């Protein structure tokens, strides 16, 4: 009788065998209902074969093969196999996480017909700039695998390049997959794409879609009905039978990296998928990740540059540094910023005051006894949220009411220290009583719907001053916004995480790019105590390439990525001693000693050493050779699985970690 090898959603690095008399080789990639333990599960048939490694009498019969969907294609499995091997993730988990929830349920959900999307009028394509035309011509569809890094300043019209390439892919009968950061996938983008390709059955795939819609969209992609899929991170796994082009917009964005479960990079998987399918992939950014930039410089990726803004009248904003060492600040804001905001108010233009710290103040403290508002579950402070009078931990979500007096000494005169967006907003409101101020951060915008509504208000001119965090920095055009004031950026210059300057630069370039995108000239004022720092110099000059060169040189000297390959073993337990002891055992394993090209660092507590009552430690494995690291990791992982650890200890391996 045929044997089915089935992938199940279990944290085990293997497949499971069942017998089935109704199975044929064409059933690979179908869902199957199987008995497991005392219950049943839905799995995916990965292989149909004649024999099993297990004795025949131990194999249970499968209950039913589900034939309501076309089988998952072989290239989907190649992608999952690669992800499982590369990220050391159990194969069943990888395969099943890619499926919509409804398709993994035992009880088949009732199928409701999807709402028909309203017909959209075709929007004509704008005229191309010379640079755009050259970039489009450089990407050939149907000519095999290539990675193109589309480096384009904000406003240079990267999206138009994507749209023209999609047009080519569709004309040749192919499908296109466009990945964007979580926050950028708004209905506006979807509408724009639909407007250009009204008959293409555009679908979106993201985490906030209702279950039924996600399943419907995913099916449309698998069945080849949807020619264009717009999605966030997880959509990189969407099975598409005629995939001909992939685009990763804002390729440097950290949201392409999954931070729990299987810790994968959707951008890197997109590159693998393109190579596997022999198709082009376009990575776009105004501030590419240093990894991609180094690949472009070495010629592994093809560099396409857009330096002019698509709207010829829109020039790059003038960036000016304000040396706050010589200035009197009011509530953290300098006189030149206030004057510039006042001027915009007078002219009926918009200003953005950027402060990447939400809440009212980062900490509440007692000057009498030195008490400060610590989170009792984390190695972090509780942030003061004055609007609802709560102290809240931004790491674990713990919250309490703001105390009326110091919990330690009873002093009633406790103070907020430092400032966040709420404090800035209320002070600006006092200072400019006539101004309409809109605060945009994760407290004021909690869902995609609220985000939409907020964008609409700003576009509709219902705001004079925007106060916001990095949420506002990403890819939105506000035609009346002509001033950006940046506060509190210095903190990230000297952060413990060596990637912090790269992220800060990308963020500031993005936020600066918000100013003056249409006919109105933009101005960016950056408050700093370190005006001579090379990061700010490059920002003033709008010179990403020179700053990237500086950073790459530093990385090469220090032997950091992209000049080394890393994996992080992390352990968490109620006691730090247990976590460190576990990591120390992992470091001492014989296999860890046998690989001479692998450096294993000392186990150390993580930067946020305690999160939600768990102490966290980490151990870095590093090698100058990706291949050596990839050979080492599966052997190491297997050996680590054999370490006897306390019951409450959890561990995971993260390959190419982004945060330290």
Binding positions for Zn ion, rule: CB under 5 A: 366, 368-369, 371, 375, 377-378, 393, 395-396, 398, 406, 408-409, 411
State how far the Cα of 110 lies from the Cα of 558, in Å rounded to an integer.
57
User: What's the token pair of residue 16?
Assistant: 């499971």
Smaller CB distance to Zn ion: residue 56 or 409? 409
- Tell me how far, at minimum, the Cβ of 405 lies from Zn ion, in Å: 8
Residue 36 per-residue DSSP state: E
CA angle 435, 438, 443 (to 5 degrees): 150
Of 396 and 440, CB closest to Zn ion: 396
Query: Of the two residues 46 and 395, which places its CB atom closer to Zn ion in the complex?
Result: 395
Residue 384 or 511: the one with the smaller Cβ distance to Zn ion is: 384
Contacts of 601 (CB under 8 A, 6+ apart): 619, 620, 621, 622
Report the nearest approach of Zn ion to the CB of residue 367 (Å): 8
Contact (Cβ atoms closer than 8 angstroms) between residue 183 and residue 169? no
Spatial distance between the Cα atoms of 643 and 206, rounded to a whole number of angstroms? 38
Q: Rounded to an integer, what distance in angstroms lies between the CA atom of residue 6 and that of residue 172? A: 36
CA atoms of 596 and 292, how far apart (whole Å):
28
- C-beta closer to Zn ion: residue 313 or 405: 405
d(CA 28, CA 6): 9
**How many CA atoms lie within 13 Å of 362's alpha carbon, on the beta-carbon side?**
8
Q: In the bound complex, what is the minimum distance in angstroms from residue 609's beta carbon to Zn ion?
A: 12
Nearest alpha carbon to residue 455 among 650, 264, 185? 185
SS (H, E, C) 443-459: CCCCCHHHHHHHHHHHH
| Residue closer to Zn ion (CB basis): 101 or 409 | 409
- Residue whose CB is less far from Zn ion, 412 or 529: 412
- Minimum CB distance to Zn ion, residue 357 (Å): 16
Residues 6+ apart with CB under 8 A from 553: none
Q: How far apart are CA 613 and CA 341, in angstroms?
A: 44
Rank residues 45 and 364 by Cβ distance to Zn ion and give the closer one: 364
Kindly state the helix (H) or strand (E) to which residue 152 belongs, with its residue range.
strand 146-152
Comparing CB distances to Zn ion, the nearer of 19 and 368 is 368
Q: What span, in angstroms and rounded, lies between the C-alpha atoms of 90 and 353?
A: 45
């Amino acid at each position: 009788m045929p044997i089915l090898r089935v992938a199940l959603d279990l944290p085990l690095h293997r497949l499971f065998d069942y017998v089935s008399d109704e199975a044929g080789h064409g059933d690979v990639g179908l869902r199957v209902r199987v008995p497991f333990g005392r219950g049943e599960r839905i799995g995916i048939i990965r292989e149909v074969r004649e024999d099993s490694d297990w004795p025949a009498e131990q194999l249970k019969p499968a209950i039913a093969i589900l034939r309501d969907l076309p089988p998952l294609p072989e290239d989907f499995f190649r992608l999952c196999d690669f992800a499982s091997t590369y990220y050391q993730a159990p194969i069943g988990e990888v395969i099943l996480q890619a499926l919509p929830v409804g398709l993994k349920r035992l009880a088949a959900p009732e199928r409701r017909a999807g709402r028909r999307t309203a017909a959209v009028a075709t929007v004509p394509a704008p005229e191309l700039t010379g640079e755009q035309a050259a970039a489009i011509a450089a990407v050939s569809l149907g000519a095999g695998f290539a990675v193109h890094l589309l480096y384009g300043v904000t406003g240079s019209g990267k999206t138009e390049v994507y749209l023209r390439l999609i047009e080519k892919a569709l004309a040749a009968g192919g499908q296109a997959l466009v990945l964007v950061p979580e926050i950028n996938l708004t209905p506006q983008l979807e509408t724009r794409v639909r407007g250009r390709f009204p008959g293409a059955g555009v679908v979106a795939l993201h985490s906030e879609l209702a279950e039924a819609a996600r399943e419907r969209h995913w099916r449309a992609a698998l069945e080849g009905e949807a020619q264009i899929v717009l999605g966030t991170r997880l959509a990189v796994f969407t099975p598409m039978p005629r995939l001909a082009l992939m685009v990763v917009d804002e390729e440097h964005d950290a949201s392409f990296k999954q931070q729990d479960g299987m810790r994968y990079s959707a951008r890197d998987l997109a590159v693998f998928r393109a190579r596997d399918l022999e198709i082009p992939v376009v990575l776009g950014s105004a501030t590419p990740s240093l990894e991609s930039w180094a690949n472009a410089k070495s010629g592994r990726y093809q560099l396409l540059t857009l330096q002019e803004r698509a709207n010829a009248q829109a020039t790059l904003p003038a960036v000016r540094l304000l040396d706050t060492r010589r200035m009197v600040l009011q509530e953290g804001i300098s006189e030149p910023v206030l004057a510039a905001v006042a001027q915009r108010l007078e002219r009926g233009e918009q200003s953005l005051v950027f402060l990447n710290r939400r809440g009212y103040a980062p900490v509440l403290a007692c000057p009498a006894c030195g008490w400060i508002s610590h989170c009792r579950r984390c190695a972090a402070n509780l942030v003061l949220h004055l609007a609802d009078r709560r102290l809240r931990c931004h790491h674990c979500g713990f919250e309490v009411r703001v105390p009326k007096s110091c919990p330690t000494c009873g002093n009633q005169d406790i103070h907020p220290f430092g400032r966040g967006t709420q404090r800035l907003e209320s002070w600006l409101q006092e200072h400019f009583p006539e101004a309409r101020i809109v605060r945009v951060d994760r407290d004021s915008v909690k869902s995609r719907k609220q985000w939409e509504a907020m964008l609409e208000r700003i576009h509709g001119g219902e705001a004079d001053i925007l106060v916001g965090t990095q949420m506002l920095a990403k890819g939105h055009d506000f035609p009346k916004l002509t001033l950006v004031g940046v506060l509190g950026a210095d903190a990230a210059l000297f952060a413990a995480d060596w990637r912090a300057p790269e992220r800060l630069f990308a963020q500031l370039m993005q936020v600066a790019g918000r100013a003056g995108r249409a006919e109105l000239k933009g101005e960016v004022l950056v408050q700093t105590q370190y005006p001579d720092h090379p990061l700010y110099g490059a920002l003033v000059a709008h010179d990403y390439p020179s700053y990237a060169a500086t950073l790459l040189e530093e990385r090469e000297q220090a032997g950091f990525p992209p000049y080394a390959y890393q994996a992080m073993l992390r352990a968490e337990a109620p006691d730090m001693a247990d976590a460190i002891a576990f990591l120390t055992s992992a470091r001492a394993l014989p296999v860890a000693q046998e690989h001479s090209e692998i450096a294993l660092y000392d186990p150390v507590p993580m930067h946020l050493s305690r999160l939600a009552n768990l102490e966290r430690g980490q151990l870095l494995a590093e090698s100058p050779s990706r291949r050596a690291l990839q050979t080492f990791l599966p052997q190491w992982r297997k050996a680590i699985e054999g370490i006897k650890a306390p019951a409450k200890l959890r561990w995971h391996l993260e390959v190419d970690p982004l945060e330290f």
